[in-house]
Amino acid sequence: MSAAFAYALAAIIALSLLGLPVGHAMIAGSILYLHVKGLDMGTAAEQLLNGMYTSYVLLAIPLFILAAEFMNSGSIMDRLLRFCNALVGRFRGGLAQVNVLQSIVFASMSGSALADAAGSGKIMQTLMTRDGKYTAAFAAALTAASSVIGPIIPPSIPLVLYALVSDTSIGFLFLAGVVPGILLGLVQMGLIAVTAKRRNFPVEERVPLRELPRITREAFPALMMPVILLGCLYSGITTPTEAAAAAAAYALLISAFLYRSLSWGDIYQSLARSARITISIGMLIAGALVFNYVVTAENIPKTLAAFLKAYELSPIAFLVVVNLLLLALGCFLEGTTILLIIIPVLLPTAQALGIDPVHFGVMAVMNIMIGLVTPPYGLLLFMMVKIAEVPLNAIVREVLPFLAVMIAALALITFVPDLVLFLPRLLGYKG
């Protein structure tokens, strides 16, 4: 590691701590590195432009964001929530169970946890706290925790980013996310079932079984969206990026024409909102592309791999260390930054230890997403403070049990790779 690299790293950390947007901080720090090293400062431009221009797979990100925006209309949400309620509302703590189930359903249409919390999560918060059924803090903690499922179950923006930095197939990564995502949902539902008895949570009015076919029929076109997406992906009809476009097109078709819940104005708003989110994530990617050039030029990943190898870490020990490291970093760093900067540094070591890259990716993403509800710096917690208007410490107290079961699920995923890999292997993954 050269002095120039130390300067660059210090500059990036200092600038972002002082409030500079992280993308700009990474570009500025890299420019400093090039200057100190006496290299051509145009390299920053070259890395950014060529990196963005050749990473075709990243185009899936704006399209997934757009698809989720199209699906976010009131009418579609109502139908899906009615469907979830008909299935699990009858149990004790019914609405809490609905909250988890709807997260799983919406997870299969959107790739971002924050989008899920702001969209359907917001509605669940209102439903749960109406008539004082649940405390606002519990509802907010649950909504934050259940939103974590969003980016684990495909589609997933973090997994697309991981595919970029690791050169792994998006299709297999998406398949690998299915079981861990559902597992997260199950542990949460289990926790609710236990808590519901103890705290005497209310039961929702039982929806008669004969109404189930009608409710399912009404929600059916929306429920088909993940089928369209995964169908396109695994039949080999389209590339992953095209599958994202097909999903967005399907979402537009059903919400604009079938459900008639999108006006021209709404479509424009969806486009503008998606564009803004794309720009924010895109700047972070741009910064990471430039900074990763510096990291690679300094040979950091290989040096680390050699260093760790000297310790003769077993793969399991390495995974445990990585999990602890990521959970700690997740308390302070934004998830996308961890994925784009820290993961590429760890990957060569993982590979040298014979850890499957798909397993590693899903585990890392799950960990980073759990970081979204880890105090003190959990973006989902902050979001719920805003939505639910409850103090952060009240939410934190309620979220701790959920955090505990989610970390248990993460441990299970870490130690039993087959849970992650059996689905991709079923569809031809050789790993």
Partner 1 sequence: MAEGDAGEDQRAEVMRGGWAEAAAWLRRRAENIAAGMLAVMFVAFVLQIVFRYFLNFPVGWTSELTVVLWLWLVLWGAAFVVRESEEIRFDLLTASVGRRARIAMGILVALALVVLYGASLKASFDYVTFMKVEKSSYLKIRMDWLFSIYLVFLIAVIVRYVRLLWHLVRGRDPGAADLTKASSGL
Q: Residue 278, interface with partner 1 (CB under 8 A)?
A: yes
- To partner 1, the closest distance from the beta carbon of 4 in angstroms equals 14
**Amino acid identity of 38?**
G
Q: What are phi and psi of 92, to 5 degrees?
A: -65, 135
> Which residue lies nearer to partner 1 by CB, 271 or 304?
271
Task: Look at residues 35, 31, 28 and name the one whose alpha carbon lies nearest to residue 14.
Answer: 28
Q: What are phi and psi of 203, to 5 degrees?
A: -105, 140
Look up residue 167 and give its two tokens: 């050169």
Q: Residue 277, interface with partner 1 (CB under 8 A)?
A: yes
Distance CA 177, CA 366 (A): 9
Tokens 């990474």: give the residue.
Answer: 26
- To partner 1, the closest distance from the beta carbon of 146 in angstroms equals 19
Which of 391, 400, 415, 416: binder of partner 1 (CB under 8 A)? 391
- To partner 1, the closest distance from the beta carbon of 389 in angstroms equals 10
Query: Which residue pairs, CB below 8 angstroms and at least 24 apart, start in 181-184?
Result: 181/104, 181/107, 181/149, 181/152, 181/153, 182/104, 182/153, 183/409, 183/412, 183/413, 183/419, 184/148, 184/149, 184/152, 184/366, 184/406, 184/409
- To partner 1, the closest distance from the beta carbon of 230 in angstroms equals 16
- To partner 1, the closest distance from the beta carbon of 94 in angstroms equals 29
Asked if residue 334 lies in contact with residue 287, where contact means CB atoms within 8 angstroms, the answer is no
Q: Residue 246, interface with partner 1 (CB under 8 A)?
A: yes
Give the contacts of 341 (CB within 8 A, at least 6 positions apart).
26, 288, 291, 292, 295
Q: Residue 237, interface with partner 1 (CB under 8 A)?
A: yes
- To partner 1, the closest distance from the beta carbon of 50 in angstroms equals 9
Map the footprint of partner 1 across residues 335-374, applying CB under 8 A: 336-337
> Which residue lies nearer to partner 1 by CB, 21 or 202?
21
Q: Residue 392, interface with partner 1 (CB under 8 A)?
A: yes
Q: Residue 238, interface with partner 1 (CB under 8 A)?
A: yes
Map the footprint of partner 1 across residues 10-69, applying CB under 8 A: 11, 15-25, 27-28, 31-32, 34-35, 40-46, 48-49, 52-54, 56, 58-59, 62-63, 66
> Which residue lies nearer to partner 1 by CB, 7 or 422?
7
